[in-house]
Amino acid sequence: MRVVEVGCGVCGLVCAEHLARNPKVDELVLADANPKGAEELKIRTGEARVSVERVNGTDRSALKRLLKGADLVLATMPWRLNIIPLEVAIEVGTNYLDFGMPMDSTGPEFDRLSNECADAGIAAMVGMGEEPGMSDVFAKHAAGLLDRADEANVYDGDTGSVEGLKFFSLWSPVDLLDETSVPAAVFKNGKIEFIPPLSSKQVFEFPSPLGRLTVYKTNHDETYFMPMGIKSLKNASFNICIDDFFADVSKTLLPLGMLNKEPIDVKGVKVKPQDVVAAMMPNPGDFSDKVKGDSGFVVEVLGVKDGKRTKVRMWTIMSHRKAYEKNRTNAGSYYVGTGGAVASEMFIDGEVKDKGFVIPEQLPAGSFLERLKRKGVEFHVEILPFR
C-alpha cells in the first residue's frame, strides 16, 4: 500500500502521522514545496516507511511522477488547489482523497469529474476532514435515529486565542479568507440559495466550555453534501464562529478588492490580492504551542420520531492544549487531519466500495465513529423534543 500526501500543513501533518503509524501502509510519501514540517514528522515518528519530497502540489509533471504506482493520493492543500492532484489522479488511475473538494456540487463540473473518476476506475473521496467530513457523518448518523429528517445544521465553534495575535487563522489563512469573501450557500426549501458573505449572523449556544458564540453562514461542502446523502432534507446550512475583529477586517478588505483571487499587476509583477493578505498572516504551524481555548462543532438534525417533532444533537469538543499534546497542533487541525486519516484507513481496509466521487455520507457511519473514538475523538448524542 503506497500512499502519497500532497500538502503538509498543520492539518495534513496530523493525517500523515496517523498513517505513518498504520502497519498496512508500506510507503508514505510526503510532498510539499516547503517540506520542513514533513521532515520533522519523519524524524519524530522514526518510521523508515516515510519519505519526504520537495514538490509543489500544482506541478502536474512532478505529481504524475509521484502518483505512478500509488494506491491513494491525499490532496491536503488549500481547497481550490486540489483540482490539480484530482485531475492527475484521474489521468494516472490513483485513488484520491481531500479535506475539501475543489468545486461546489451545484455545477456541471462536479458530475463531469465524478464520471471521469468512475471511468478511470478510482474512488475520489471528497470533503473527508472535520467540516466537511466528520460533521457529515454525524449528520448521517443523527438522521438515522429519526423516522424522517427534515433539516440539518452544522455549527463550528472555537475560543482559540494567541497572546500577541489578533488577525490570525488556526488553519489555512487562504481558505479562511476565501470563506469570508464568497457568497454563502444555504439549502432552503429543497434548493441551494446564495446569500452575501458574512450577511447571516446569529448567536449560538454551544455546549460547555465553548458557550455562546457568534456564528456566520458560509459556503461549505456540508450544505451540498447533507441533502445529497440525506434525501428527505428540506433545509441545511453551515455556520462558523468568526470573532468580531476578524469579521470586521474581512468586511473592510472585501470592498477594497484585497480578497480578490484574480491576479493584478503591481509594478510589473502579477499578484493575487488575497494571497498578499494571507502572506501577511502568521503561519498556524508557528504558534500551535501557544493556542489557548477549545474547538468543536455541533450538528443538529430536526425531524420526526414516533410522530413527534424531535431534534438529534451530536457534538465534539477538544482543547487546543490536548491537541498539542497529542500531535503538536491545534484542536481544529487535529480534527481535520484525523477525519482524513479515518477515511483513508477505511479505504485501506476495503470499506470504500464505490467509484467516482464518494462523499462522507456514503461511508459506514458506525465504523467511522468507532475509529474516531480509537483516535481520541470523544463525541456525544442527545435526543430532544422540538417545537
CATH number at residue 34: 3.40.50.720
Task: Report pTM.
Answer: 0.95
Q: Are residues 286 and 344 in the same domain?
A: no
Question: What cell was used for 43?
Answer: 524524524
CA-to-CA distance for 96 and 71, rounded, in angstroms? 9
Whole-number pLDDT of residue 144: 98
**195 and 279: one domain?**
yes
The total domain count for the chain is: 2
Q: How far is CA 38 from CA 33, 226, 324, 331, in A?
A: 10, 33, 17, 19
Residues 121 and 147 in one domain: no
Comparison of pLDDT for 296 and 101, the residue scoring more: 296
- Are 145 and 294 in a shared domain? yes
Q: Is the residue at 334 inside a domain?
A: no
318 by DSSP, 3-state: which?
strand
The answer to whether residue 196 is domain-embedded is: yes
Do the bridges between strand 269-271 and strand 264-266 make them parallel or antiparallel, or are there none, so unpaired? antiparallel
Do 236 and 121 lie in one domain? The reply is no
Q: Are residues 293 and 210 in the same domain?
A: yes
E runs forming strands in 36-114:
50-54, 72-75, 95-98
Co-location of 148 and 251 in the same domain: yes
- Whether residue 331 is contained in a domain is answered as no
**Per-residue pLDDT reduced to its tens digit, 64-79:** 999 999 999 999 998 8
pLDDT at site 106:
65
Q: Judge if 143 and 256 occupy the same domain.
A: yes
pLDDT value for 105: 66
Domain that holds residue 204: 134-320+378-385
